[in-house]
Amino acid sequence: MAIKPKEAMLRLAAEIRDELQKLDWLYAEWQGVDVEAGPHSLLMRGKASVFHDFYCGAERIFKKIAHELNGGIPAGEAWHHELLNDMKLDLPGLRPAVVSPATYKLLLEFLQFRHKFRNIYGFDLDYGKLADIEKKFPPAHHQFKHEVEAFLIFVEQLGVQATPDE
């Protein structure tokens, strides 16, 4: 495997840490919402926006990783799904898997939710489906953060191995 320039790996690690911090803020914001409030339209829209943003933040991290370590972001109509799928793959000679199969399954639900959220009016949100995704948010956030932090160890090791001239 060709070692990436030190600066690129250190920048990638810093950018991923920045996104993880934003996801922590998002999670903290969600924790401040009264989850027992019921199906009030504005509350539902707010919660849905948090879950949308969670997946967008995860996808930004995946895009940075794909750009630096995978040779680019997948092309085509299903690139969002392909990118997520790529992140559960161990790519010998390039990088280890970023997320586990279990975290992939959780994130896939958030990807599907994001797609639906972007293509309906807020008043058409299904409270039952929103409640289901809300139950999955704490484990999804925790597992994603834990696994990406473990992946950062690999990225930082690449940065240490690289030389400034490469």
Rounded to the nearest 10 degrees, what angle do helices 79-87 and 41-65 cross at?
Answer: 70
For residue 131, name the pLDDT band (cuts at 50, 70, 90): very high
pLDDT score, position 29: 78
pLDDT of residue 38 exceeding 90: no
Domains (range + CATH), the chain: 6-161 (1.20.120)
- Return mean pLDDT, the chain: 90
Which residues in 41-54 are b (16+ Cβ under 10 Å) and which e? Answer: eebbbebbebbbbb
Query: Cα–Cα distance between 45 and 64 in angstroms, integer?
Result: 29
Share of the chain above pLDDT 70, in %: 90
Residue located via tokens 């199906």: 39
157-165 average pLDDT score:
74
| Residues paired with 95 in a beta bridge | 91
pLDDT score, position 90: 96
pLDDT score, position 158: 87
63-84 average pLDDT score:
95
pLDDT score, position 32: 74
101-123 average pLDDT score:
94
pLDDT of residue 57 exceeding 90: yes
94-100 average pLDDT score:
96
pLDDT of residue 96 exceeding 90: yes
For residue 165, name the pLDDT band (cuts at 50, 70, 90): low
Q: Are 72 and 37 in contact (CB under 8 A)?
A: no
pLDDT of residue 36 exceeding 60: no
